[in-house]
Chain A
Amino acid sequence: MSVRMPAADAAVLAKRDRIVATLRAIVPGEGVIAGEREMRPFESDGLTAYRQLPMVVVLPETTQQVSEVLAYCHSEGIKVVPRGAGTSLSGGALPLEDGVLLGMAKFSRIREIDFENRIAVVEPGVTNLAVSTAVAHEGFYYAPDPSSQIACTIGGNVAENSGGVHCLKYGMTTNNLLGCEIVLMNGEVLRLGGKHLDAAGYDLLGLITGSEGLLGVVTEVTVRILKKPETARAVLVGFPSSEDAGACVSAIIAAGIIPGGMEMMDRPAIHAVEEFVHAGYPLDVEALLIVELDGPAAEVDHLIERVEAIARDCGSTTCRVSQSETERLLFWAGRKAAFPAVGRISPDYLCMDGTIPRAKLPEVLAAMKAMSEKFGLRVANVFHAGDGNLHPLILYDANVPGELERAENFGADILKLCVAVGGVLTGEHGVGVEKRDLMPEMFSEIDLAAQQRVKCAFDEKGLLNPGKVFPVLHRCAELGRMHISGGKLPFPDIPRF
């Protein structure tokens, strides 16, 4: 493990037996797991390169239990790592040796579905897909659809502000939330929002969304549900160069069309996927676009014609429109299987997640090709083309000494490049431990201190998920201090009236 985690607190480890006993009193039955073998499944999340057994695992079932566990840990100075389904790709749920792993899987009930107000109230352990399934009989769905939607939970989606292939048109998690119940590290239970729009006062719901489990533990979520579009059709377009494909994406948007989804793959990704899924992707192209239009049939047919014309003008060499729902799903099956497909052609891979201004794509792809040669590692690219979110998959073999480290260095260079061209370190996977030490590439010390003061407002002892997101942890007392030079300051040279 190349990322240093906060040092284990020997005093906490020394009283482990007492801690386990106290937690058993709060969460009776099988809700507390302390055996090494039984804790093994919790030692890592989707970022499997990092592993650590927690001190103990707790699986509470009620808000009251969450509150009591957190209040106890707060008073005893015990660190807590919250976990949903453990699908994080950035190590957000990586346990700590001296920490309680708080698994929210038992919060798996859908509490209320209210079609009149078009909302669902769910517990955080409900999977993303289960929300859509629960409202499907009335023709509704929940819009954000991360690729892990079969497994990932709504609580995790809130923590990570998850996106998905449709977020260009329908927004990320933060744009589809109305309220939540949250437990602070000191055990305090707060309710934010509800069935109405916008917050009264500061938008704390917006702040919690994407906070990677560092501000509080969500115990209930109110999400907006939408009526399913009448139809959806996809167009598969091949290009002789990524520049042409990128120009096509820009031209579609410039024409005033916001597709439901717009995805791009480069040649290595296309080949890996086609061999695996047989989606009928053309193999003689450098870049492939999937453009999906949704809405009433009249709208979809009209826009498909326009997209086809734009693609032709941009030099497309192949263009296929899905003629049936089966064919549309087959187009997507390839894209959705991109990660496992790459997994078949390489023993291991690292999935990066930068976002770039879309116009920089050719520049970034060219630079990545050069890096690939420099590091001696292959890279395949899938790209949420509409919003500039790039997922380079770096292929490596963990059994070859030094390859993981080389892959990580390659990944870090890619992310630095993303920032350098005006983009960001992570579009949807989160900072976690993976990108934690790259934060200074994007933020100054002042920026990071301001963010940590937000953390202090929620968790002044810094016990909730420490070691994630922030490269250096400062004490809240130190962050709170004001440094004003002594005496009165002269009036600044600013126009005044």
Chain B
Amino acid sequence: MTEVLKPRDAKEVEDAVRWALGNDKALELAGQGTKRGIGRPSQTDATLDLSDLTGVTLYEPAELVLSARAGTPLREIEKLLDDNNQQLAFEPMDYGPLFGLEAGQGTIGGAIASNLSGPRRIKQGAARDHFLGVSAVTGRGETIKSGGRVVKNVTGYDMCKVLAGSWGTLAAMTDITIKVLPKPETESTVVVFGLDDAQACAAMAAAMGSSCDVSGAAHLPDHVASYFDGLPKPEAATVLRLEGVAPSVKHRQEALLALLRPFGPAAMLEARDSTALWRGIREVRPFTTAAAQARPLWRISTAPGQGHAVAARITPAAQMFYDWAGGLIWAAMPFADEPDSGSIRGALADLGGHATLVRAPAAVRAVADVFEPETAGLRALNKRVKDGFDPKGVLNPGRMWAGV
């Protein structure tokens, strides 16, 4: 059984990494472990468990800023923000339920390390876009800080960006500062029924190209529609979310209904159903069921207009739905041990984008590329970046790519 180190403060994180360095040990970094199943299975000697680094250390609603220790549960942060009528605008999704875990267990550190986002990605960006400052222990056992607690800052390299989405392979983050935003006063959703994937992508492009300020655009084909709460009937639904002050939402809703009517029969969801629907989309609900757990799951990012063309290259036996106006495809493959990487990578090579094999048995992840394979030049550059932070490969070695 591997050892678990559970530091109580940032200094002990530094001690732990130095211990690993001095004894040629490799560390697995974890918060609550909700994303443990993601990435290449890697050989580590001990787990660096950061879940005891908790607590919000600064929250100034009028300055739109919050700082917390990396192991602070997202749930706690979201509750605090909600009490102050604010939110994490990047709408972080929750990977836990996709792995059969209870919802709401993730930490802020994990959210940043995996650059989480949700349906609002198309309007408000991902975790990276809200990540203002950090204190972290690199694989050299040194504590670095970057960024600050102000939104506008170009002092030095933007190290926050490279740490966001680095899956714990560069540094162990201990303290995180993020930008927070007001919660919209209300929301509603316009639904167009019965579109095929290509028509849906066209409808979403029309909506996104309007001044309706859409904050979520998804297409839920008929084979997954029944998994979502809030929809009036289990038919293919192309859904567009509007958020803001009530008079504005009302005005945009009418404009959007008029714009989309030529595509098919449309309806409107009031705030309550709208909230329930987008919660399901954010959580990738169709693929969290017990029956779906065995299916390998892909997360594919491509140009929104190409979404349906990429999807058309995937086996029809896959189940899928689209977020990000067609630019994000969640695809659950039919056979546990066959992620069908070839067709997906091939489609992306032709049409552009990248794919992550989010869920698959360890044996499959050990031989397939979990993250998008890089060109030789980029692979070498990524390796040099990794070596700068973690030359001995003590932090999550091999989790993203072999040898990095």
Contact = CB atoms under 8 A, between A and B. Distances in A.
Interface of A: 114-119, 138-140, 160-161, 163, 167-168, 171-172, 174-175, 184, 188-192, 194-207, 209-211, 227-230, 250-251, 253-254, 256-258, 295-299, 301-303, 355-359, 384, 387-389, 422-431, 435, 439, 442-444, 446-448, 450-451, 453-458, 469, 479-480, 482, 484-485, 487-497
Contacts of A230: 211
Interface in B1-48: 3-8, 12, 15-16, 18-19, 21-23
Most B-side CB within 10 Å, residue of A197, A384, A488 = A197
A489 B394 CA distance: 15
Q: How large is the interface on B (under 10, 10 to 19, 20 to 34, 35 or more residues)?
A: 35 or more
Given A227-B209, A355-B152, A489-B18, A446 B382 contact: no
A448 B157 CA distance: 9
A411 to B, nearest CB: 15
Nearest to B84: A254
Interface in B304-334: 304-306, 324, 327-328
A494 B385 contact: no
Interface stretch (B74-82, B94-102, B373-381): B373-381
B388 A457 contact: yes
Q: Which 10 pairs across A and B sit closest by C-beta, in order of nearness? A: A206-B161, A489-B22, A299-B248, A453-B388, A200-B354, A256-B182, A200-B372, A195-B303, A492-B15, A457-B384
B391 to A, nearest CB: 6
Contacts of A487: 22
Given A195-B352, A356-B150, 19 more contacts: A140-B209, A196-B301, A196-B354, A198-B126, A199-B354, A200-B371, A201-B374, A201-B378, A201-B382, A202-B162, A422-B148, A423-B148, A439-B156, A442-B155, A448-B156, A450-B138, A450-B144, A451-B159, A497-B6
Contacts of B7: 494-495
A496 B161 contact: no
A202 B149 contact: no
B245 interface: yes
Given A388-B150, A450-B388, A196 B247 contact: no
A359 B301 contact: no
A175 B63 CA distance: 20
Contacts of A199: 165, 354
A202 B356 CA distance: 13
B211 A256 contact: no
A299 B3 contact: no
A196 B303 contact: yes
B295 interface: no
B244 A295 contact: yes
B252 A496 contact: no
17 contacts: A174-B161, A195-B303, A197-B328, A201-B400, A203-B115, A203-B162, A206-B162, A253-B63, A359-B60, A428-B152, A447-B146, A451-B156, A453-B389, A456-B388, A457-B387, A484-B21, A492-B12
Contacts of B205: 116-117
B232 to A, nearest CB: 27
Nearest to A255: B182
A412 B213 CA distance: 42
A207 B158 contact: yes
B23 A489 contact: yes
Contact of A424 (B117, B150, B165): B150
B159 A250 contact: no
Contacts, number: 315
A496 B61 CA distance: 37
Contacts of B327: 196-197
B121 interface: yes
Contacts of A454: 157, 159, 162, 385, 388
B371 to A, nearest CB: 6
Contacts of A430: 154
A167 B152 contact: yes
Interface of B: 3-8, 12, 15-16, 18-19, 21-23, 49, 52, 60-65, 85, 115, 117, 121-122, 125-126, 128-129, 138, 140, 142-146, 148-162, 164-166, 170, 181-183, 185, 205, 208-211, 213, 244-245, 247-248, 250-252, 255, 301-306, 324, 327-328, 352-354, 356, 371-372, 374-375, 377-378, 381-382, 384-385, 387-389, 391-392, 400-401
Contact of B158 (A191, A206, A427): A206
B154 A427 contact: yes
B158 A494 contact: no
Most B-side CB within 10 Å, residue of A209, A257, A450, A479 = A450
Contacts of A254: 61-62
B152 A443 contact: no
Contact of B150 (A189, A298, A387): A387
A482 B18 CA distance: 11
A198 to B, nearest CB: 6
Nearest to A490: B19
Contacts of B371: 200-201
Given A190-B375, A494-B5, A250 B18 contact: no
B305 to A, nearest CB: 4
Nearest to B18: A489
Nearest to B301: A196
B61 to A, nearest CB: 6
Contacts of A439: 155-156
Contacts of A210: 154, 157-158
A409 B122 CA distance: 44
Contacts of A497: 3-4, 6, 49
Given A196-B301, A202-B166, A491-B19, A457 B381 contact: yes
B182 A258 contact: yes
B128 A229 contact: no
B181 to A, nearest CB: 7
Contacts of A429: 154
B24 to A, nearest CB: 9
A469 B156 contact: yes
B57 to A, nearest CB: 13
Nearest to B85: A256
Contacts of A256: 85, 182-183, 185
A206 B63 contact: no
A314 B247 CA distance: 25
Nearest to B304: A117
Contact of A227 (B19, B49, B160, B211): B211
Nearest to A179: B352
Nearest to A450: B144
A137 B248 CA distance: 25
